[in-house]
Amino acid sequence: MVEQSQRTTEAREPDAIDLLLEQHARIEDLFRAVLRTTGNAKREAFEDLVRLLSMHETAEEEVIHPIARRRLDFGDAVIDRRLDEERDAKGMLAGLVDLADRGDGKGMDASFDAELGRLRLAVLTHARKEERCEFGRLRHTAGEERLRTLAGAVRAAAALAPTRPHPSLTSPAANIVFGPALAVADRVRDALREVRRDNV
């Protein structure tokens, strides 16, 4: 048991923040994938991205921002700004979905890429601000136990927005309509509020 004997620390279960960070990483990867691919692969990556982003931002709004608002110094100011950024991003995302749904996927042209690039920069910047101004400080104030409990809620949200592990090479994706992927946000919100009611 080579590995066992080399372990000096106990295995650490990922907490809510770890899971949200993993989603940030996945969002970054999907943006890159959409920008770097064409045709079916691009449509699939974009659908995954819309679903993941909608789920992710909603999960943050329901699970982590409320605690940060209460626990962090200047929590209101920090979180209000994050929510503004998330609202802007959602607006841009909805615009992109409209664009892409136009003409059966033929709306994903150069102007789509330019607009996607703008959304990408906004989302990446937003994510880094969360990491620096919110997540890091929350780890120190919210307590490990609390964050580990919240991981369950983040997992529940993620289950409602599955993404493809690898781009599929076979399934014809030409008929993807992106609007429904946006609606994941509502399902996630309902589910998380349900969970919260049950826990009260």
Residues near Fe ion (CB under 5 A) are 127, 130
> For residue 13, how many C-alpha atoms fall within 13 Å in the half-sphere facing its CB?
12
When binding is defined by CB under 8 A, the residue of 106, 128, 155, 196 that contacts other proteins is 128
When binding is defined by CB under 8 A, the residue of 34, 67, 125, 147 that contacts other proteins is 125
Residues 6+ apart with CB under 8 A from 101: 107, 177, 178, 179
Residue 79 buriedness (CB in 10 A; 0-12 / 13-18 / 19+): buried
Q: Does 171 bind other proteins (CB under 8 A)?
A: no
Helix (H), strand (E) at residue 98: helix 75-101
| Site residues (CB under 8 A) for other proteins, limited to 1-20 | 2-3, 6-12, 14, 18
- List the single partner that 101 binds among other proteins, Fe ion, none, CB under 5 to 8 Å by kind: none
Q: Does 166 bind other proteins (CB under 8 A)?
A: no
Range in contact with other proteins (rule: CB under 8 A) among 38-46, 106-114, 131-139, 178-186: 131-139
Question: Counting every residue, how long is the chain?
Answer: 200
Q: What's the CA gap between 104 and 113, in Å, rounded? A: 16
Q: Does 144 bind other proteins (CB under 8 A)?
A: no
Helix (H), strand (E) at residue 70: helix 65-71
Q: Which residues bind other proteins (CB under 8 A)?
A: 2-3, 6-12, 14, 18, 21-22, 24-25, 28, 31-32, 35, 120, 124-125, 128, 131, 136, 139-140
